[in-house]
Amino acid sequence: AMFTRALQGFEEALGPNHTSTLYTVCHLGNLYRLQHKLAESEIMIRRAMKGFEDALGPKHTSTLLTIHNLGMLYADQGKLVEAEAMYERALRGYEDALSPELASSYSPALNTVFALGDLFSQIDRKDMAKAMYNRALSGYAIVQGPSSKRCRQLEDRLQALQVASAESKVGQDEFTEPGAAKSRPFVQKLRKLGRRLNIR
């Protein structure tokens, strides 16, 4: 209700395409996404993205942040191909706007790299997920410090990928090696660790 009232106020005072109005539209879209009102969220985020593109240009960081948010919404909707396209568009935009070197230590760009890692992990592109997680980890270690919450989350995800990879290899060995039955307790330990790290 607060964002809705603020949006009405900005629209009346400044017009629908003023950047202050658009930031409020974007915040409202993100709020709807967190409330799982995905259709309403998409309307708001698309409106903000179009408004920022027209007002500030397609490579402005506000536009790129909104593109990233649309990627997150698509991921929530299960539209993973569209989500990947939005994340990659946002990341390319950050690299073009700031240079790849600066983008590697710019938090919004790192958030996009992290999100790409999660998406690749979800669609079983483990090598790409690992590369994205490592890239994000390097950046966050510089920006927030190596013991930050983000770095710990990434370390957990990298460890879980390693567990999943080892479990997969052991599972394959069970079919190819006669003595592989002995490895089952090890597989069970790996699965337990995977569950603890919230990786299926």
Whether 199 is in a domain gets the answer: no
Whether 144 is in a domain gets the answer: yes
Which residues are within 8 A (CB) of 58 and not within 5 positions of it... i.e. 6 or more apart? Answer: 93
Whether 114 is in a domain gets the answer: yes
Q: How many CB atoms lie within 10 A of CB 70?
A: 25
Instruction: Using alpha carbons, list the distances in angstroms from residue 70 to 27, 124, 181.
Output: 12, 22, 47
Whether 72 is in a domain gets the answer: yes
Confidence (pLDDT) at 75: 97
Report whether 67 contacts 98 (CB < 8 A): no
Whether 22 is in a domain gets the answer: no
Whether 163 is in a domain gets the answer: no
Residue located via tokens 């190596």:
146
pTM of the model: 0.80
* Domain total of the chain: 1
Confidence (pLDDT) at 121: 96
Domain boundaries, position 115: 57-157
Whether 67 is in a domain gets the answer: yes
Q: How many CA atoms lie within 13 A of 28 on its CB side?
A: 22
Report whether 97 contacts 59 (CB < 8 A): yes
pLDDT tens over the chain, length 200 residues: 677 787 887 777 887 888 989 999 999 999 999 999 999 999 999 999 999 999 999 999 999 999 999 999 999 999 999 999 999 999 999 999 999 999 999 999 999 999 999 999 999 999 999 999 999 999 999 999 999 999 999 999 999 999 888 877 666 655 555 444 445 555 555 555 555 655 54
Whether 1 is in a domain gets the answer: no
- Domain CATH code at residue 148: 1.25.40.10
Q: How many CA atoms lie within 13 A of 151 on its CB side?
A: 11
Report whether 60 contacts 52 (CB < 8 A): yes
